[in-house]
Structure 1
Amino acid sequence: MRSSLLRLPVFCVVLAAAMACNKPAASTTDAYNQSPETGVRTGGVRMIPVKTPSGTFNVWTKRVGNNPKIKVLLLHGGPGANHTPFECFESYLPAEGIEFYYYDQLGSMNSDHPTDSTLWETPRFVEEVEQVRQALGLNKDNFYLLGHSWGGILATEYALKHQQNLKGLIISNMMSSCPDYGKYADEVLAKQMDPKVLAEIRAIEARKDFNNPRYTELLMGNFYNEHFCRLKPWPNALDRAFPALNATIYTLMQGPSEFGISGRLANWDRRADLPKITVPTLTIGGNHDTMDPKHMAWMATQVQNGSSLICPDGSHCSMWDDQSHYFPGLIKFIKGVDAGQTKSIL
């Protein structure tokens, strides 16, 4: 009996070692899904503190997928809109092994909503993106920046200041000049409207009666349904995005309507600076876009390593109403850059 008891500790050590050998190793995916701050699994959501001249605020991000080599940060439109119009990306990018990040900019949806109007300036938004990049661990070996609409302005400005951090740039449904956009709206899009409808819209704008329900009704039926998203009915994501718009930021920077720009962005123009962008760049537009597709195709010829994708059936939300062209082109570009290409024929 005594001999058996003496052997028991040895047996336990051997058994423990055997059990340790058979225990599955901790997966990198498990570690990846944990919050770096607490170890708690959050479904990819992180609130990131952002320092501003008015104090520190939190912005909301959410990771989808897992690929250390390809990480796409999505910059939504507006300004003051939110990430929901990007929800269709989940149906395409994860299956291709592309990791991406939703991100509500400061003042938008799930992020903090400070009221200091001095915060709503493009340079401050650029520095916000840089702080988000650092917090998420994005760098020149994996960081793709995709900006849609206003997000395309923000992505352009970010690239002009911080492109050393980028692996690839995607400017989706945005021109490089707001004055040119206003000219296109007046000289091309307006002329496509029924003259009586256009006259009523102009009369409401002249009175600055932008809260008039009739104004929204006219734009929705004659502009948004033709040039913003052509799907009928609209996707639920867009139905949820519009009511959540921060109208204060939107009106201050963009103006009261997508039908031209009249806010702080009215004079934004980076046409002459496009050649300074050296990273592989994809410009995306739609034939029915609020933006001039010819201008967006031209932008790809001005940056040093540009590729162009014009979605033949797409509008401003080509990721919804021309998915058969938008996503294959986007995926081909990203994978091409990952493979070392600087330009793609799409």
Structure 2
Amino acid sequence: MPLPFQRVLPEEVVFVPFGTRVPLASTKGTVAFRDYRTWYRVTGELGGDRPAVVAVHGGPGSTHDYLLPLARLADDGWPVVHYDQLGNGGSTHLPDADPAFWTVELFLEELDNLLTSLGIADNYVLFGQSWGGPLCAKHAAAGPAGLRGLVVANAPASYPIWLQEMARLRADLPRETQEALLRHEAAGTYDDREYLAAMRVFYDRHVCRARPWPRDFVSSYMEIYNDPTVYYAMNGPNEFHVIGSLKDFSVIDDLPAIDTPTLLLSGRYDEATPTVMRPYEEHVKGARWEIFENSAHLPHLEEPELFHEVLVDFLKGL
């Protein structure tokens, strides 16, 4: 999920739900993790026969907000858990932490801790979007006994491949847009209005094609804008320059170990292109792949009804 810039938010943003009703939370709170706190939200009742669907957001360094429409699954009988990963949203912020503190292992440990603390480690489904996808895949490859299903949405399996595809998508932008990006990157003026406007061209094509931008998406945008600590440490200044700790990260070698039913989701115009997603299909046995023809990186917001139908169908088959 791209680093948000307040000044590239579309002027026509209105803070209304985008075609979906989000059920009220049944419970909100925090659980202890190391010396910190992880914030969570539960919709529906945990502990029944159906597994809880745990929504793992992107970034790294975003928040749960843009995934709130998944709470609709509670109306169909699947309890849903959202949480904010450490460093953002309602969880403990650590703006002065050494960049080396922010690791994949940290967030795997946090996810394990959340599952155990909520008492759902024996019966759950993971939904990992963007950065959350490889995080969930890494978790699934360890063979946890209680994992009933895995959804990997709009996610890189390899950040080197992601960067190759980002360069290709950039090359397809209008010439004046490419020139503006290159000019400001050479000068290091990433916060210049012209650079932000040029990035907005990319966002409108490959991140969110819905107009106006949905409220929940804007909420996560503003959260990460207010504290980009984790994003800067693990990713870098923006989508085009992954120079943080994830620059060489890949889960491709882990994928053959995944033996849970797996659903892959992406958009036709997604920054997570078919080349980015294909390793999941090639290496996870029996993985099913659905591509949303009118979506970019956020089909749950861009085609919400079809998305919900596809997800419910997968869950019913578990």
TM-score (norm 1): 0.79
Structure-to-structure mapping, 1:1-346, within 5 angstroms? 43-51=26-34, 56-66=35-45, 68=48, 69-90=50-71, 92-114=72-94, 115-117=96-98, 118-140=100-122, 142-187=123-168, 189-220=169-200, 222-245=201-224, 246-259=227-240, 261-337=242-318
Q: Secondary structure at the match of 1:63?
A: strand
Q: Per-residue deviation at 1:325?
A: 2.9
Q: Per-residue deviation at 1:300?
A: 2.4
Identify the residue that residue 17 of structure 2 maps to in structure 1.
none
Query: 1:64 & 1:320 partners in 2: Cα distance?
Result: 19
The structure with more helix, counted as a fraction of residues = 1
Query: 1:85 & 1:328 partners in 2: Cα distance?
Result: 19
Query: 2:279 & 2:142 partners in 1: Cα distance?
Result: 22
Q: Secondary structure at the match of 2:54?
A: strand
Q: Per-residue deviation at 1:111?
A: 0.8
Moved over 4 A (4+): none
Query: 2:189 & 2:197 partners in 1: Cα distance?
Result: 13
Whether the 8 Å CA contact 1:285–1:297 is kept in 2: the answer is: no
TM-score (norm 2): 0.86
Deviations 1:113-171 (A, max 9, x none): 1232333111111011100110011134x210111111112112212235333111111
Q: Per-residue deviation at 1:217?
A: 1.8
Q: Which amino acid aligns with 1:130?
A: D
Q: Secondary structure at the match of 1:93?
A: helix
Q: Which runs of 5+ in 2 are unaligned?
A: 1-24
Whether the 8 Å CA contact 2:134–2:251 is kept in 1: the answer is: no
Query: 1:124 & 1:295 partners in 2: Cα distance?
Result: 24
Q: Per-residue deviation at 1:297?
A: 4.5
Whether the 8 Å CA contact 2:66–2:218 is kept in 1: the answer is: no
Identify the residue that residue 5 of structure 2 maps to in structure 1.
none
CA 1:333–1:260 in structure 2 vs 1: closer, same or farther (change >3 Å)?
farther
Identity of aligned residues (%): 27
Q: Per-residue deviation at 1:298?
A: 4.8
Identify the residue that residue 19 of structure 1 maps to in structure 2.
none
Q: Which has the larger radius of gyration?
A: 1
Superposed CA RMSD? 1.7
Q: Per-residue deviation at 1:299?
A: 1.6
Q: Which amino acid aligns with 1:146?
A: F
Q: Per-residue deviation at 1:261?
A: 2.5
In the alignment of these two chains, the number of paired residues is: 288
Query: 2:204 & 2:181 partners in 1: Cα distance?
Result: 16
Q: Per-residue deviation at 1:198?
A: 0.6
Which deviates further from its counterpart, 71-80 or 265-274? 265-274
Query: 1:278 & 1:326 partners in 2: Cα distance?
Result: 24
Q: Which amino acid aligns with 1:193?
A: L
Whether the 8 Å CA contact 1:201–1:215 is kept in 2: the answer is: yes
Which deviates further from its counterpart, 283-292 or 196-205? 196-205
Query: 1:213 & 1:121 partners in 2: Cα distance?
Result: 32
